[in-house]
Structures are given as C-alpha cells and as structure tokens.
Amino acid sequence: MKIIIEKDFEAMSETAKNILLGCMSQDKRINLSITAGNTPVGVYKSMIEIVKDSPNYTNVHYYNFDEIPVTDQAEGITITDLRKLYFTPANINEANIHPLTVENYAQQDRRLAMDGGLDAMLIGLGGDGHFCGNMPTTTSFENLTYKVKVSGEEPWFVPDMMEKGLEFVTMGPVSVMRVKHLILIVNGKKKAEMVKNVLQGPVTEEYPASVLQLHPNFTVILDEEAASKLDR
Amino acid sequence: MKIIIEKDFEAMSETAKNILLGCMSQDKRINLSITAGNTPVGVYKSMIEIVKDSPNYTNVHYYNFDEIPVTDQAEGITITDLRKLYFTPANINEANIHPLTVENYAQQDRRLAMDGGLDAMLIGLGGDGHFCGNMPTTTSFENLTYKVKVSGEEPWFVPDMMEKGLEFVTMGPVSVMRVKHLILIVNGKKKAEMVKNVLQGPVTEEYPASVLQLHPNFTVILDEEAASKLDR
Amino acid sequence: MKIIIEKDFEAMSETAKNILLGCMSQDKRINLSITAGNTPVGVYKSMIEIVKDSPNYTNVHYYNFDEIPVTDQAEGITITDLRKLYFTPANINEANIHPLTVENYAQQDRRLAMDGGLDAMLIGLGGDGHFCGNMPTTTSFENLTYKVKVSGEEPWFVPDMMEKGLEFVTMGPVSVMRVKHLILIVNGKKKAEMVKNVLQGPVTEEYPASVLQLHPNFTVILDEEAASKLDR
Amino acid sequence: MKIIIEKDFEAMSETAKNILLGCMSQDKRINLSITAGNTPVGVYKSMIEIVKDSPNYTNVHYYNFDEIPVTDQAEGITITDLRKLYFTPANINEANIHPLTVENYAQQDRRLAMDGGLDAMLIGLGGDGHFCGNMPTTTSFENLTYKVKVSGEEPWFVPDMMEKGLEFVTMGPVSVMRVKHLILIVNGKKKAEMVKNVLQGPVTEEYPASVLQLHPNFTVILDEEAASKLDR
C-alpha cells in the first residue's frame, strides 16, 4: 500500500488523473473501471479536457464495478452517473463502454478475464467502510462479482434510493484483488476516522475496505483532511 | 484460483515442477520462494536432475518465507531443510540464496521489493490450515513479514520443535499476496477436509490459508485424495 | 536472450513443454501461438498426454502465426497441420482456436491486442534464417502482420507447396516483439550454422530471425547439434 | 507504437509528465531512466514541483542511459546535466541515483536485470536519428550497453564536446527493447523530417531510432511541428 497525501481536493484529483492518464497512454488495450459519485468529479473534469475527441485514447475500455437498477429505466444508477460525469462529456465511443448489469453480472469476472483483466480501477470509500457495492453486513471476502438482495434493515439503507427487496450487483473482494493497479481516492474530514480504520486497522468484513490492505499494487490518494487521523 | 487435480503425488509433483521450471526459463532475473517439508520432496527431486550444474538457471534467486531459529545452530530449521532437500544437491550458488532470519525479517518486504518482487512461491498447507508460518491464533491478515513469540499454549504447539518463549518469523498474508504466481501443493486424505475449508469456505483467520482465495494468480495442485472432499 | 542447450531432441522438447505448461497453469486467460512443422512434434506429444480432456487448461487460447491457403480446401496448411499435430489429439475446444487466415490477417494485431496479447509463442527456425513466415527477401523489420505475394523466384521457393502468384500471411517482426515470452526451439546439425548466424551475428533482414535478438524475453532451446557452432 | 500529438511543447511536456508520475505512483520499486538535454526541460520543471521533498516517490530509482566522461571532472556530461535539470532541484536521495559510467558500463545490463528491470525510459530524438548514444555509423542493433571510441570523423562529430579518441558509453538497442514502457518526446519543426523517417520509414541502422518501431510498448509524444510531416 502506498499512501499519497495531497493538500486538498484539487491536488488529490490531479494525482489520480495523472495515474489514470499514464496508464491510458500505453501502447496496448487498457481496461479501466472507474467510480461514480462525488469524489471523482475533479478527476473526470480534467480528464475530459484531455480525452474528449482525442484519437489518443481509443485503446481504453471502461467497465463499471457495481450497479443499482432503477424501475422503468433502461440503465442503472451507476452507469447513468458515469455517463453524466464522464462518458458523455468525454465523447467516449459506445463500443468502449462495457456495462455491468443485474442481468450480466454472473459473467463479469469471466468477461474481464477474457478481455485481459483490469489494468486500473479507481474507487472511493464509503463513510461506513464500503468499497464498490461491498457493504457492511453483506460482504464476504471470498466473493467474486455477486448480487445482493436488500432486506431494508441494513445499517447503510438509503430510503430514497433503495426499496425493500431491491437487488444490486457488485464486483467482490476477489474480483478487485485481480486489478493490476488499484487507486483509492478519499477527501474530507468526515471520512478521516474510517480512513484510519480501513488502512491501519484489522482486516475485517465489518469495514469491507480493510481487505484492500491485501492488494498487491494499491495506491491511496488522500487530501489532508481525510488523512488527519492516520498514524504517520 | 485455478485448481488442478492430479491422480497422485508424482503427477502433482510433476505439474508443480513444470510451473517452476517454466518460470525459471525466462530471460530475466527470477525470484522464487520455496517451501521446506515433506510435500515438495518429489518436486525437488526432479528439479535437481535438471538444475544441478546447469548454466541455464543462474538467473534464479531463492528466498525462504519463514524461519525457526535453533539454539546453537548458525542456521534455522527452514533453510537447513531447504539446503538438504534442494540447494545442496542442486549445487545452487550461495550468492543466489537469500535467507530470511529472525535478525533480518524486518527488512524482508523491502528487500524483496528492491529485488523486483517474487515471481513465484511454492507453498504447502498445514493440517490446521496454516500456510508459511501463518498459524491459527497468531495470524492477522494485515501483516507483512512478522515475528511470533510462542506462548506454549498454541493449538499447533509442536513440543519437540519449539519451546515456550521461542520466536519464529514468517512472511505474512500481505507479503504473500504480492507474489506474482502463487502455487499451493497438497496431497493425501488427511488434508482433504482442510483443503475444502480453505478453498471453498469463508475467508477467516481461524484457517489462515483461506485468505489465499483472494490471491490474483493462485494455482492449487492437489492429488485425488486431497481433493476428495471438494465440491466439484 | 537466454540460451538453453539440451543434450538431444527429447530433452529440448521436454524443456519447451515445461515452459508452455508452466505458463498455461496460471489462473488467467493465456493466449498461445504455436508452430506447425517437425521441430515441435516432441513438444506436442507430451503436451497432449497432459492436456487431453483435462479441465485444467480451458483458460488457454490458441493462435497460429502464419498461414498458406490451399486451393479447394477450407483451411490452410498451417492450421491443418496444427490440428493434426495437437488440436485434434488434445481435444482442444473449437472456441479456443483462433485461426489467422488470408481473409482476416489485417485484423490480427488488433484482435490480439483486444484479447490481451500473446503470453507465449513457440517458434522454429528455418534453414534459411526465416521465422514464422518472415522469409529472406520478403521481410521488413517494421512489419506487423502482413501478406506476401510469391513471385516464384524467391530463394526459398518450395515448388510443391507454393505456386507462382500464391499469397500467404504471417505475423511480422513488430507483432512477434509484443509476445510476452518468446520460445525458439531448434535441433539438428543442419541448422547449426544458421543458429550461429541469427543468434550471434548482426541483426539483418538477410537472416530474418536475427531480429529476435532484440526481443525482451527470449528463450532459445537447442539440442547439442544445433548449438555446435555457437561461441560459448 | 502509439503516437500522441499535442499542440505545443507545454502540452507535450504535460503528457510525458503524467505518464512518468502515473508509473511512479505505484506501490512498488520503480526504475526510471530519463534523458538529459533540452527536450525534457518542461517535463522536469513540472515534475520537480510534485516530487521535491515528497515522501511519495522514494520508491523511484534513477538510471542514466548514456555517459560522456569529461577530463578532470568526477562525473560525466549526462549525469551532470540530469543533476542540474532534475535530481538536485527535486532533492532526489543520492541512494536512488545509479550512474552509468565508462567504468561500470559492462555491468549495466546485468545490474538492471538484478534490480528488476527498467519500468520506464524517457528519451529524445537526435536530428540525425540517434537515440541515447546510438549514433549513425556506430550503432549495431544487436548491442547491449557498449562503449564507442570516437574517431573524429563521425558525421555527428561535435567539436566542442568531443575530441578525437574520446570514449563514451550507451545502452544499446537490445537494452532499450527491455524497458517496460518506452516514451519518446520530440518537438519542433527541425526534427519533423527525422520523425517521419524513424517512425514511418524502414528499420535501418542509418537512422538508429527506427529500431524503436519494434518496441512492444512504445509511446511517442510529439508537438504539432514535430508531427507535421507524418502520414496521418
């Protein structure tokens, strides 16, 4: 594990962008899995400027790592958000986007293996210690990509996004461990305690992201606030 | 995880030998970590025939992954056994042997990183679910190479080999996860139940080898007896 | 370049087989390109025993690296020979065989990139210094996979196999340089002089295989006769 | 080969910097070889801001790829220039700098192999088609790191820098082919013709950099002027 502490959100975003672009600039197919949400907004903003309409990154293929289906919508929450944040403004060719869905999740690990594996994955950290869709109470470390049925009594239950009985899918710990370079970005004071728990505490399913300490090529990029409780 | 089931001990040994020789035959420095004990005896026997006095494998460097010091002896149990089983009969150059000891263990992970990392590691499985020196009751998944002080009350206590207060060292789960190709060999009916526990059961520190399910390039070679309780 | 000299054809074949099986035993998709002809007969004979009907090598995909079409035949000389020597007796699943043809050669390099690249390639050496279909007088080092139109006046013209105007296809020097592990097998006294030329002489299009000296992970396996003119 | 064309020197420098920092941000030892001269000035300027006094890049080791000794000076032209351009302003730890010299050049390839190989190399292009110290009239493609004795009649003879009888050393084509990611930066109209020659012309020792077309992971970054004569 390599921890890079940057002074603020912008510097964190810049460093993550550099890592992704460095990987994408190689002379071979590159498979990337990238996160939706608020944390990567700065990363994508500067990537779009470089990638948009560029002939230089057509070798890059994109995979989402989790998905929550939405009733009456063709696509789920994650891919919809990724389109808005990055794929659409960067004009990514549809043939380079490989959605994970509730329908195809059982083929995800095999498909990735067939495509040569993921070269890099950019993830965030949940305030409850989750990564991808690996939540407290529903994560088993021995899982590949799997489906979770929400009971409605989970500690992380989000009423307006999920209903009782909803199912979502996520790449599991075993799937994520196979990524050649794993990059975690976290910012803000609110997550400082959880950053310490998952990076310097025991590996436990209670805080699923703690398992990432076992990843063989894991770069963590924090802003000063998120790093403020770490033992240095 | 890829599970290869061979008909017997000889076939298991042959397949493990092929994997190691294939790796060693590359045109670059190769760093190997190999296990002592009874399980690899057949592997080393056929490797010695090929490697002994050969100019073809001088690019291979060897590292032991655990060590138990012995009072009044210059070298510990593991390296002494490896010398007997392989290094001495194969005439391995002393400069290519890099012992891990109770004195230098704190530098082991950094040294391996400096040397370019381990290309392959051959391990066995303990009847109690241990791998390397990662024993039930003393293993934490977040460990790099570490030292254990034996209390004498461990379930795996071996009276004639260890005394109360003895210390030994081992590469930990995080260290092993960094190996580029991890190879586990297990034979015999006595270990069939534990093989099932660690390969198809939950990842738990109770059976330390269960964590290996998370390794990104993990080949398991079993004889039919060791595989007899697996769900197929 | 790593040169391994074995005492005879059997030992040469055994070492090549070990390298291929070692690679194939990994826990990921493996893309192999293997040669037709007489030199690999011993390699395939022992591989078939291990691979036939085995569930352990379904992760392996096969690609031929050159092809000579035959009038009135659905498949060309190379793939027909590979089927006879290995694919058919080893019961390789048709879905794991990816023929290169005169029709699809222009997509070969892109297809390989999309599939994650070749992990290993086994090749032989022509008595005239050719490798794959890279012949003296028709090879340019800057070539990816390309098509050659035979004029009938080539020094290597083989009357019963090729006619004037025939076209064949081959992966070029640039394509071969991208293979992660390149393995060359050569046996017999007749090729000893050419072995010296291509491995210890200048890199020149006159002896196309001389360019392989530039490959970053190149293992050469020779029997004593083929190695007899090398400076040691 | 992947060609990235940027609008100007700044954009070219920015992209090269991203690739290097992306590589350096991994959680393992990284071995870099970087070029002296004018072309990389912009790359180093922005790298220094990020790397200087940072704890995040202590895993990076530096190697020069050629050297010209200077009478009465402890260090040669290349390393002296690299110190001025980057090592000194970036406060790189002396233990992370591994000079190539006329004295130690014969060990360079073995040393690099022992250290795990070069992860990336940043090079420039000479107006005469040279790369590193591989000059027209003195380059043989089959060379590892080698020493050149200047006769004084070379077409590229630079009177104020070299004298008749001077010796210099350089990593050769075979050494450079082993680098995991090769990055070439070129800017300016004056080199446009040579850029076309070496990237789209035949592989020939007359223009030594033409051999780089054979590199398996080669990224070329040009400004618009340097790219102005390329067939697109």
| pLDDT higher than 70, residue C160 | no
Distance from the Cα of C6 to chain D's closest Cα (Å) equals: 24
Two structure tokens written together for C166? 């025939």
Mean pLDDT of chain A: 95
Asked if the model's pLDDT at residue C154 lies above 90, the reply is no
For C180-196, write each residue's pLDDT tens digit.
999 999 999 999 999 99
Return contacts of C162-168, CB within 8 angstroms, 24+ apart: C162/C68, C166/C68, C166/C69, C167/C69, C167/C102, C168/C66, C168/C67, C168/C68, C168/C69, C168/C102, C168/C133
- Residue C207 DSSP class: B
Q: What is the pLDDT of residue B153?
A: 79
Residues of chain D where predicted confidence (pLDDT) is lower than 70 = 157-164
Q: Is B160 a catalytic residue?
A: no
- Whether D28 sits inside 8 A of B59 (CB atoms) is no
Q: Average of pLDDT values for A66-91?
A: 95
pLDDT at residue B151, as a whole number? 81
pLDDT range class, residue C173, cuts 50, 70, 90: very high
User: Is residue C222, in this structure, part of any structural domain at all?
Assistant: no
Q: What single-letter amino acid sits at C36? A: A
- A35 located within any domain: yes
Distance CA B145, CA B131 (A): 13
For residue C10, the distance in angstroms to the closest alpha carbon of chain B comes to 13
Active site residue B215: no
Cβ-based contacts under 8 A for chains B and C: 66
Residue D200, φ and ψ in degrees, nearest 5: -125, 0
Domain-located, residue A66? yes
Which residue of chain C has the CA closest to D198? C142
Q: How many residues does chain D have?
A: 232
Q: Which pLDDT belongs to residue B165?
A: 74
Q: Is residue A42 part of a domain?
A: yes
Neighbours of chain B (3+ CB pairs under 8 A): A, C, D
Query: What angle do the packed helices C41-51 and C9-24 form, to 10 degrees?
Result: 40
Chain A residues near residue C115 by CB distance under 8 angstroms: 114-116
CA-based end-to-end distance of chain C: 14
Contact A213 B178 (CB under 8 A): no
Cβ distance of B213 and A142 shorter than 8 Å: yes
pLDDT digits (tens, 9 = 90+) for B174-183: 999 999 999 9
Residue C165's CATH number: 3.40.50.1360
Judge if ipTM > 0.90: yes
Answer yes or no: do A214 and B140 touch at CB < 8 A. Answer: no
* Dist. CA C34–CA D76, nearest whole Å: 47
Residue A228 lies in a domain: no
3-state secondary structure chain A: CEEEEECCHHHHHHHHHHHHHHHHCCCCCEEEECCCCCCCHHHHHHHHHHHCCCHHHCCEEEECCEECCCCCCCCCHHHHHHHHHHHCCCCCCHHHEECCCCCCHHHHHHHHHHCCCCCEEEECCCCCCCECCECCCCCCCCCCCEEEECCCCCCCCCCCCCCCCCEEEECCHHHHHCCCEEEEEECCHHHHHHHHHHHHCCCECCEHHHHHHHCCCEEEEEECCCCCCCCC
Q: A99 exposed, middle or buried (CB, 10 Å; 0-12, 13-18, 19+)?
A: middle
Put simply, the answer to whether D213 touches C141 (Cβ < 8 Å) is yes
Query: Is B232 within the bounds of a domain?
Result: no
Q: D100-132 burial, b for 16+ CB within 10 Å, e for fewer?
A: beeeebeebbeebbebbbbbbbbbbbbebbbbb
The confidence band for B159, taking pLDDT boundaries of 50, 70 and 90, is: low
Stretch A22-32: mean pLDDT: 95
Query: D164 near D150, Cβ under 8 Å?
Result: yes
Per the DSSP assignment, residues forming a β-bridge with D170 are: D66, D146
Residue B85 is given by DSSP the state I
Cα nearest neighbour of B180 on chain C? C26
Instruction: Report the distance separating Cα C63 and Cα C79, nearest Å.
Output: 9
- For chain D, the domain total comes to 1
Of D28, D59, D114, Cβ closest to residue B29: D114
Q: Answer for the pair C214, C179: CB distance below 8 angstroms, yes or no.
A: no
Residue A168 inside a domain? The answer is yes
Predicted confidence at residue D155, as pLDDT, reads 80
What 3-state DSSP class applies to B55? helix
pLDDT at B160: 58
The answer to whether residue C128 is catalytic is: yes
Angle at B109 between CA B107 and CA B113, to 5 degrees: 110
Catalytic residue among C61, C81, C130, C215: C130
Give me the pLDDT at residue D172, please: 98
Annotated catalytic sites of D, by residue?
66, 128, 130
Confidence band of B124 (pLDDT split at 50, 70, 90): very high
Average pLDDT, chain C: 95
- Taking CA atoms, A40 is separated from A13, A215, C35, in Å, by 7, 21, 47
Burial class (CB in 10 A: 0-12, 13-18, 19+), B85: buried
Residues of D with CB below 8 A from C213's CB?
Answer: 141-142, 174
Give the residue numbers spanning the domain of B13.
2-223
**Residue D229 lies inside a defined structural domain of this protein:** no
Q: What strand order describes the sheet that includes A66-67?
A: A66-67, A167-170, A146-149
CB-based contact D18 A23, cutoff 8 Å: no
pLDDT digits (tens, 9 = 90+) for C52-85: 999 999 999 999 999 999 888 999 999 999 999 9
pLDDT at B158: 66
